[in-house]
Amino acid sequence: MLTTTDFLQYTQWSGIATLVFAAVTLLGFILKWGIRFRLVGVTGFTLVVTGGLFALSLAPLSRTVIPGAVRYTLLYDNGSTQTVITTPPQISPSQLEATLRQAASDLYSYGRLGTRGDNQLTIRARTVIHPEPGLSVPFYLGQVKRSLTTREDPQMSLELYQEKFAQLPKTAA
């Protein structure tokens, strides 16, 4: 994974390329080259790329990985306080707990807004089982509530619906 020092190195090289293109663009205007306006575009583009790389060098790009979490799919997200993820039906309670913690980490964003005093993000986990052909039943297996304002929430509440796990299909051993 790329680190902030890698992005700082890329920023330096991109900055040098921007200065070279700016010099060539200036030379193109002095000598009235036919491609001088294209050179303005190239210089502007490299300037934008340099700015983006510089921004990436300021903030660390790290993703927390929770051991034991299984792959989930984001099913619903209102962009504020409610989300729903879906998991495979053969999930164990310990895997669901790790998956909910992973989703709570992944779905945290500074851009989420609390509504009417609700300052918590609720992530509900569900799966779909098929007890008979042509019938699909959604099962909510648990939920996690975390703060919308604090990245590392020490008071995150996790709730698993143990009675629902007994109704899930058993995995073939």
Q: What is the pLDDT of residues 80-100, one digit of tens each?
A: 889 999 999 889 999 999 999
CB distance 91 to 171 below 8 Å = no
Q: Quick one: average pLDDT of 43-70?
A: 88
| Residue 67's pLDDT band (cuts 50, 70, 90) | very high
Q: What is the pLDDT of residue 30?
A: 96
Please, what is the end-to-end C-alpha distance for the chain in angstroms? 36
Q: What is the pLDDT of residue 1?
A: 65
CB distance 99 to 91 below 8 Å = yes
Q: What is the pLDDT of residue 115?
A: 62
Q: Is the pLDDT of residue 173 over 80?
A: no
Q: Quick one: average pLDDT of 18-30?
A: 97
**What is the rounded CA–CA span in Å between residue 155 and residue 145?**
9
Q: Is the pLDDT of residue 158 over 50?
A: yes
Q: What is the pLDDT of residue 11?
A: 95
**What is the rounded CA–CA span in Å between residue 120 and residue 60?**
25
